[in-house]
Amino acid sequence: MAHDLDAPPSSPARVILSPVSELIFASNFVLSGDPSFKDFDPEWRSGQRRSLPESARAYMDFAEGGLDWATLSLCDYVTTSGLHDSWEAFAAYARSRPLDEFLHVLLNGDIPREEIARLRGDPEGAADWVNRLSCFSRMTGERAAALFADAEGFRERLLAFVGANRTASFTAKMEELRPGFERLMQKIAERLKGKDPIAFAEELSRKPFPYPRDYRSYVFVPSYFVGKRYLYSYGNGNFECVFNITQVSEGGTEEAKILSELLRVLGDQTRLEILRMLSGGPSYGKELAGRLGLTTATVSRQLDQLKTAGLVLEEKADTNNVKLVRLEHTAVDTLFGQLQDFLRSG
């Protein structure tokens, strides 16, 4: 979403609980086939599904396996509107937005807004866009045609589905989690003091934020139902980082586990040599293999581990599928910053 370049100087970062975001994440969890949710609170999920009204289950039948990302995309509107506390206020805001804009945001900008207006008049033409959609808005041609054929109806059904997830089970779970939320929010607020908010978000998520970095407001939101993910969202001069409470633990046990896994990747002479070589500039697997005196296959296996850890990036260099490998400097700096903070937190 476009950044507001006329935004006034930024305000201090805040750590807040967002009931609206958590309801959206819970709705996405109930619906999503994301493999990261495997074995994540299956008892609550199955109970929540059973408690939903028929209309919500009908939406799930329509969206499952093709539109489960739509619930998650609503979070962009939470960021731009700043409406974190009231679902009614947020839903009214989402309904008030021009329909073409709403679909553009929901589709993560993958289809130009002017093309969205055309597709609403020619829903079958949406199938031509299916292979150009990112993983954040992927769907079948059939689903795309159905969405554009009744876009206003889809918006209403989507918002109604999320609203229907405000069950007694959801409320009870939020009350159960509240003390842990509050303790963790205090801990994160202390760690955030005196730090650049974007750099701290990168430290939390262990992934770079390659977009504009100056905003009016910076908000950090803890979440349970986001699962094992971290999410960035920005727009209208606002920046938001959602972090999961299952990995940013109060006692540091999970943090220690994550750090130990990353340090294990570094604890290999060949992988360290590869990182050292890449610190001087990007290279190719074959070139690295030659310099190390190893086979290309061996270097490829080591690069796979470094890529999984987020310490190197790989990109196509030409049309012959030759790949250029580069060091992810931000991820490396973040890792050592996290280690330093962890060792000082005792």
Domain containing 285 — which CATH number? 1.10.10.10
Query: What domain count does the chain have?
Result: 2
171, amino acid identity: T
Q: Which pLDDT score is estimated for 8?
A: 42
Q: pLDDT at residue 126 above 50?
A: yes
Contact 219, 64 (CB under 8 A): no
12 pLDDT band, cuts 50/70/90, is confident
User: Are both 163 and 294 inside the same structural domain?
Assistant: no
237 pLDDT band, cuts 50/70/90, is very high
Burial class from Cβ neighbours inside 10 Å (0-12, 13-18, 19+) for residue 277 reads middle
Q: Which pLDDT score is estimated for 78?
A: 96
The residue from 192, 221, 244 where one domain ends is 244
Q: pLDDT at residue 65 above 70?
A: no
Q: Which pLDDT score is estimated for 1?
A: 35
How many distinct helices (H) and strands (E) make up the chain?
17, 7
User: Are both 237 and 272 inside the same structural domain?
Assistant: no
User: Are both 49 and 192 inside the same structural domain?
Assistant: yes
The residue from 226, 244, 262 where one domain ends is 244
| C-alpha to C-alpha distance for 164 and 154, rounded to whole angstroms | 15
In this prediction, residues 226-245 reach a mean pLDDT of 90
Per residue in 270-280, pLDDT (tens digit) is 999 999 999 98
Reduced to 3 states (helix: H, G, I; strand: E, B; else coil), residue 307 is helix
Only one residue has tokens 């489960």, namely 68
Cβ contacts of 51 within 8 Å, gap of 6 or more: 167, 168, 169
Strand partners, 235: 238
Query: Is 4 inside any structural domain?
Result: no
User: Are both 213 and 277 inside the same structural domain?
Assistant: no
Q: What is the mean pLDDT of the chain?
A: 86
User: Are both 230 and 271 inside the same structural domain?
Assistant: no
Identify the residue with better confidence: 150 or 64: 150
Q: Which pLDDT score is estimated for 345?
A: 58
C-alpha dihedral (4, 10, 14, 16), degrees to nearest 10: -20
259 pLDDT band, cuts 50/70/90, is confident
| C-alpha to C-alpha distance for 47 and 284, rounded to whole angstroms | 50
Q: pLDDT at residue 219 above 90?
A: yes
Q: Which pLDDT score is estimated for 106?
A: 92
Q: pLDDT at residue 36 above 90?
A: no
Q: pLDDT at residue 40 above 90?
A: no
Per residue in 179-208, pLDDT (tens digit) is 989 988 998 999 898 899 999 998 888 778
Per residue in 281-337, pLDDT (tens digit) is 889 999 999 999 999 999 999 998 898 888 888 877 665 667 888 888 777 877 787
In this prediction, residues 91-106 reach a mean pLDDT of 95
Contact 262, 332 (CB under 8 A): no
Quickly count: other Cβ atoms within 10 Å of residue 20's Cβ. 23
Identify the residue with better confidence: 263 or 11: 263
Per residue in 71-85, pLDDT (tens digit) is 989 999 999 999 999
247, amino acid identity: Q
Q: Which pLDDT score is estimated for 121?
A: 94
Q: Which pLDDT score is estimated for 38?
A: 73
User: Are both 234 and 257 inside the same structural domain?
Assistant: no
68 pLDDT band, cuts 50/70/90, is confident
Q: Domain range holding 98?
A: 14-244
Q: pLDDT at residue 235 above 50?
A: yes
